[in-house]
Amino acid sequence: MAARENLDDLSNAELRALLVAALDELAELKRTVSAQRDEIARLKGLKGRPDIKPSGMDQATPDKPKGLGRRLGRGKKRLARVAVEDRVLSPEIPDGARFKGYQDFVVQDLVISPQVIRFRRERWVTTDGKTVIAPLPAGIDSHFGPELRRFVLMQHHQGQVTVARIAAQLQGIGIDISKRQIMRQLNDGQEGFVEEARDVLRSGLVSAPWVTVDDTGARHKAKNGYCTQIGNDHFTWFGTTGSKSRQNFLGLLRAGHADYVINDEALAYMRKRALSAALIGLLANHPDRVFADHQAWQAHLDRLGISALTGTIDPNMIATEGALWGSIKAHGFLDNAVIVSDDAGQFNISHHALC
């Protein structure tokens, strides 16, 4: 290090280099002192400093997405991905002025107002005395429209708003609705959502090269159960059942289908799970290979005498799992797809990888 009296003779670059070297030396001295303190504490039999690991949330926080919209003014907020309505504003134009384009000013707003529509459905009487009434438009199946129901579902499930507060909101806006009617919006007529979720799962299982799966304890209808997640980067599906067995998981992978199928994939599954060759032969040589539901499949096992058998490996369970796997493959699901999970045994089927 240069002597103190020579510092005035050094250039800015040399002074910066000297400062960096001094800071490195200081950091090394701090590390040495810290290590010596830990060693002294160890020799004295004292507890060392706790090793606190960084939060997993920091590691899992993704980078902010880029290019999701235009910036608004000088702030950092981005324009929501919704349709933008253009309104052209014209000033008073003096004579001789030239048009030089536009200066944009974006305004976001929200319109919440009640809308009441009275459908006047024509009624006609035919010559034979039958009454013909004009049908309601698609999507209208109650006295509350689809947008109101969308609002109720979003507020309750996504916003965690209570039924009483939703009723107060809607009544304050001007909607004539009661808490009982809101409960009906939340509970009745969910078939469309169930079908949509089923179709999402089917599309995902047909096209996905890999899926991640997991399950966790859940309460449903005042009973303990298990919620299973299946998905990847493009879709996610959740299903709650009363079991977390491999048979339950295979049943979920049928994506709403109820059949049991004995095909080459089913027989290969049974061989891999060490089902006896004699029982596999019974199933393979029988003319009935497709069964509509669990009742029909169980009756088939009863006729063959398989359901009454016992052993270290339950023949009834292995045969049922194989028939479920046969159904999955018969519907074109998980074609060479990899199932990614933790080390829970119920997920270890077909091409499997541990996360």
Among 213, 350, 342, 161, which residue's Cα sits nearest to residue 269? 350
pLDDT at 75: 53
- Name 197's Cβ contacts closer than 8 Å, sequence gap at least 6: 237
Q: Which residues pair with 123 in a beta bridge?
A: 133
Which 3 state secondary structure label does DSSP give 223? strand
Q: Which are the contacts of 227, defined by CB distance < 8 A and separation ≥ 6?
A: 215, 216, 217, 218, 238, 239, 240
Q: What is the DSSP letter of 157?
A: I
Tokens 């169930």 belong to 194
DSSP state of 5: G
Nearest-angstrom CA–CA distance, 284 and 275:
13
Q: Is the pLDDT of residue 67 over 50?
A: no
CA distance 352 to 348: 6
Give the span between the Cα atoms of 337 and 208, in whole angstroms: 7
Q: What is the pLDDT of residues 159-181, one digit of tens each?
A: 999 999 999 999 999 999 999 99
Percent of the chain's residues with pLDDT above 70: 88
Query: What digits encode the pLDDT tens for the residues 330-348?
Result: 999 999 899 999 988 899 9
Q: Say how far apart CA 151 and CA 157 lie, in whole Å.
A: 10
DSSP output for 89-139: ---PPPTT--------------------------EEE-TTS-EEEPPPPTT
Question: Sign of the C-alpha dihedral, residues 312, 316, 321, 326?
Answer: positive
Pairing of strands 210-220, 223-231: antiparallel
pTM over 0.85: no
Contacting residues for 111 by C-beta, under 8 A, at least 6 apart: none
Between CA 146 and CA 138 the distance in angstroms is 10
Taking the C-alpha atoms of residue 167 and residue 177, their distance in angstroms, rounded to an integer, is 7
Strands 290-291 and 260-261, how do they pair?
antiparallel
pLDDT of residue 50 exceeding 70, the answer is no
What is the residue type of 44? K
Q: What is the largest CA-CA distance in the chain?
A: 119
- CA separation for the pair 283, 292 (Å, rounded): 16
Q: Which residue would you say has higher pLDDT here, 39 or 123? A: 123
Radius of gyration of the chain (CA): 34
Which residue did the predictor score with more confidence, 247 or 36?
247
Query: Could you identify the residue written with the tokens 């929501």?
Result: 80
DSSP one-letter code for 240: E
**Integer CA distances (angstroms), 124 to 118, 127, 132, 140, in order:** 19, 10, 5, 21
Average pLDDT over residues 59-75: 51
User: Residue 313 — very low, low, confident or very high, per pLDDT cuts 50/70/90?
Assistant: confident
Q: What pLDDT score was predicted for residue 297?
A: 96
State the Cα–Cα distance between residues 86 and 69, nearest whole angstrom: 16
The closest of 302, 336, 337, 335 to 320, measured between CA atoms, is: 302
Please list the residues that pair with 239 across neighbouring strands: 228
Question: Among 43-52, 182-191, 245-254, which stretch is predicted with the lowest mean pLDDT?
Answer: 43-52
Lowest mean pLDDT among 51-60, 234-243, 262-271: 51-60
Residue 7, pLDDT score: 73
**Which alpha helices (DSSP H) does 174-293 contain, by range?**
179-187, 191-207, 246-253, 264-272, 277-285
pLDDT digits (tens, 9 = 90+) for 74-122: 555 555 578 889 999 999 999 999 999 999 999 988 888 899 999 999 9
φ/ψ bin of 139: left (φ > 0), alpha (ψ from -120 to 50), beta (otherwise): left
**Does 10 have pLDDT greater than 60?**
yes
Model confidence at 229: pLDDT above 90: yes
